[in-house]
Structure 1
């Protein structure tokens, strides 16, 4: 498991890869603000000192709410997100507190990763590494999306899918076996 500063550095490098400069990334990129806040809050969430942990989480919740209001991006500290997360545009991004997102993923504006289903099918998604999620896509339910997948804009993913496919539609279906290479 990477240390919090290594995770922040990997996120920063991902933003830099897309052409940002230090000042514009740190001071003007709302996606980076939300990811940075998540990394710090998640670090506090994993602390083993109970009283310190709870005090820092309380402050983190207030900070998260400020970031959420400012950016329109909600990433709870209890979500599990791998290194090099990139949020490309402002707003409308909701990630469930129990979601699992792999390494090196890109999330576009308007994306929801959330809970859905009934009884034993109720749950949240597990998203693999190198997954690109297009604008306004919804990934919901106790499902898994394999590594290197592309989820097209406006798609609704409610079923599990293998690695290395492109998903399109409502509900999403495999349209080809093109991977996320070139999107990430």
Structure 2
């Protein structure tokens, strides 16, 4: 997906959500600035600005290494932590105080794997998804859930640990 197309799709997906629009536009431009060594050097100032504004002031850790699909929506984006190795599908919704992160392996390696989020996934507020998990397509995860196992397609899950409540 081209960055220009991604910017417009993210902007439209976050309509009536000024903060979500701002963060996603800044994010897509940061991704453009990181495409190669020349643009990284030329736009080094912008990458610093992105880190200060988005990560420090807005408290949204959304690294330019994250691979989101089209139409990513950030609802009430605050205290959002997305590990750089996470892959996010199309039409996903992330709410505040959500963590998508990696898990330390028995050997002490912190890069043992990150979640892969499918398409059309709705992640509630204060959800924690840790480790090399696969979240299927068309999944809804309830607020406050702790996901420690894979979730199949077309289901609703909630709880600590998250359990499938029903299938869609």
Q: Same fold (TM over 0.5)?
A: yes
Cα-to-partner distance string for 1:130-165 (whole Å, 9 max, x where unaligned)? 000000001110111001100110001111111111
1: CA distance, partners of 2:161 / 2:51: 32
1:96 and 1:115 in contact (8 A); partners too: yes
How many matched pairs? 165
Ranges in structure 2 where 5+ consecutive residues have no aligned partner: none
In the alignment, which of 77, 84, 88 is matched to residue 97 of structure 1?
84
1:117 and 1:142 in contact (8 A); partners too: no
Alignment partner of 1:46 is 2:35: yes
2: CA distance, partners of 1:128 / 1:166: 14
Does 95-104 or 111-120 show the bigger shift?
111-120
In the alignment, which of 77, 85, 96 is matched to residue 64 of structure 2?
77
Larger fraction in helix: 1
RMSD over aligned Cα, in angstroms? 1.8
Structure 1 residues 61, 96: CA separation in 2 closer, same or farther (over 3 Å shift)?
Answer: farther
Cα-to-partner distance string for 1:44-103 (whole Å, 9 max, x where unaligned)? 2233xx233244256314322222222221100001011101111141101001111011
**2:3 corresponds to:** 4
Larger fraction in strand: 2
In the TM superposition, what is the alpha-carbon distance from 1:31 to its structure 2 partner?
2.1
Alignment partner of 1:114 is 2:113: no
Cα-to-partner distance string for 1:2-47 (whole Å, 9 max, x where unaligned)? 211110111111122xxx2xxxx5xxx2222221111111122233
Ranges in structure 1 where 5+ consecutive residues have no aligned partner: 179-184
Structure 1 residues 10, 124: CA separation in 2 closer, same or farther (over 3 Å shift)?
Answer: same
Does 153-162 or 61-70 show the bigger shift?
61-70
